[in-house]
Amino acid sequence: MNYGTALRNEIRSDGITPLIGIYDMHSASVAAQHYNGLFVSGFGFAASHYGLPDIGFIAWSDIVAFVQRLRLAFPRTHLLVDIDDGYVDPEVACHVVEHLERIGASGVILEDQRRPRRCGHVDGKQILPLEDYLEKLEMVLATREELVVVARTDAVEEDEILRRAAALAETDADVLLVDGVRSVEWIRRVRSVIGDKPLLFNQIAGGKSPRLSLPELSELGVDVAIYSTPCLFAAQAAIDTALAELRANDGRLPETTGGAVGVASSLELLSQNISRHHEKPVRMSV
């Protein structure tokens, strides 16, 4: 299956494409029950795999191994992967893109930050000179075969945001992302300088961007919406609540009636990921 082409075609079709940020195989299993597109969030992966903030700790080999497990479990789901700055070096970025395309990723997001990098919705971000980023991006674009490539800028100065958005729109990147955009008006301004290039909007609870519905984003000319951390933040809140209740009840577990998750329901969810339970095997194009 040509995973990049499938995602590209959906992005170019009418309507907006939502992709749900996941952080491990279990959160992906739940998210795949509700949406046909998943986003491998750097924020979520750093938290889950290392127990660390998303400030540059992720090793590319760990991301590749995770995506390989995801693709085996979810053979028909769009998988967009955050590869941060391409792990610093342009050659490494190309190497990672080759790996991800071979194992069935649908697309990648490549940012223009310099180290030490930051989550796109926090202060203190530093960006590469535009020429350096464009060189890295062009190498990645020349390396991919049909993988979707999202060009991302983390610029925060107003003039620089528009300058970079316009420059990225001139490349062969499939989609453009201005991360941490602060208002509806700025979505309109970005849209006005990128022509017909598909636009991605990143929503993260507590982040710098406004909370908008999919219809609202569609009206603003947004083509893709990624939700970086809904699963991670929901899990943190639910686990904290469950353990507080367990302590309050002197260690007595709750009943599993009324829709509460227990052994049977969890196994039912996870069993769907076994390859022999997939209706039709999907052969990846290499």
pLDDT at site 240: 97
Pick from 180, 182, 176, 168: which is nearest to 223 by CA?
A: 176
Q: Please check the confidence at residue 118 and state whether its pLDDT lies above 80.
A: no
What would you report as the CA-atom Rg of the chain, rounded to the nearest whole angstrom? 19
Cis peptide before 210 (omega within 30 of 0): no
pLDDT-derived band at 280 (thresholds 50, 70, 90) equals low
pLDDT at 265: 86
> What pLDDT is stored for residue 149 in this prediction?
98
pLDDT above 70 covers a percentage of the chain that reads 96
Q: What average pLDDT score do residues 133-162 get?
A: 96
The pair of structure tokens assigned to 234 is: 């929901």
What pLDDT does residue 34 have?
96
Look at residues 51, 44, 45 and name the one whose alpha carbon lies nearest to residue 63.
45
Please give the average per-residue pLDDT across 262-268, as a whole number. Answer: 85
State the average pLDDT for the chain. Answer: 93
Could you tell me which residue, 123 or 176, shows the higher pLDDT?
176
DSSP 116-179: SP--TTSS---B--HHHHHHHHHHHHHH-SS-EEEEEE---SHHHHHHHHHHHHTSS-SEEEET
The larger pLDDT score, comparing residue 56 to residue 259, is at 56
% residues pLDDT > 90 (the chain): 80
What is the model's pLDDT at position 279? 72
> For the whole model, what pTM was predicted?
0.92
Distance CA 163, CA 4 (A): 28
Q: What is the mean pLDDT of residues 83-94?
A: 96
Name which of 212, 204, 167 is nearest 186 in CA terms: 212
User: Taking residues 158-173, what's their average pLDDT?
Assistant: 96
| Mean pLDDT confidence for 125-130 | 91
Per-residue pLDDT, averaged over 157-175, amounts to: 96
**Residue 42, amino acid:** G
Q: What's the confidence (pLDDT) of residue 277? A: 81
Cα(76)–Cα(6) distance, integer angstroms: 10
What's the rounded mean pLDDT across residues 96-116?
95
Long-range own/partner contacts, residues 208-212 (CB < 8 A, 24 or more apart): 208/121, 208/180, 208/181, 208/182, 209/121, 209/180, 209/181, 209/182, 210/182, 210/183, 210/184, 212/184
Q: Is the pLDDT of residue 175 over 50?
A: yes
Residue 190 CB neighbour total at 10 angstroms: 26
Q: What is the pLDDT of residue 281?
A: 45
State the pLDDT confidence band at 258, using cuts at 50, 70 and 90: confident
pLDDT at 284 over 60: no
Asked if residue 191 lies in contact with residue 221, where contact means CB atoms within 8 angstroms, the answer is: yes
Q: How far apart are CA 142 and CA 136, in angstroms?
A: 10
Q: Is it the case that residue 84 has pLDDT exceeding 50?
A: yes
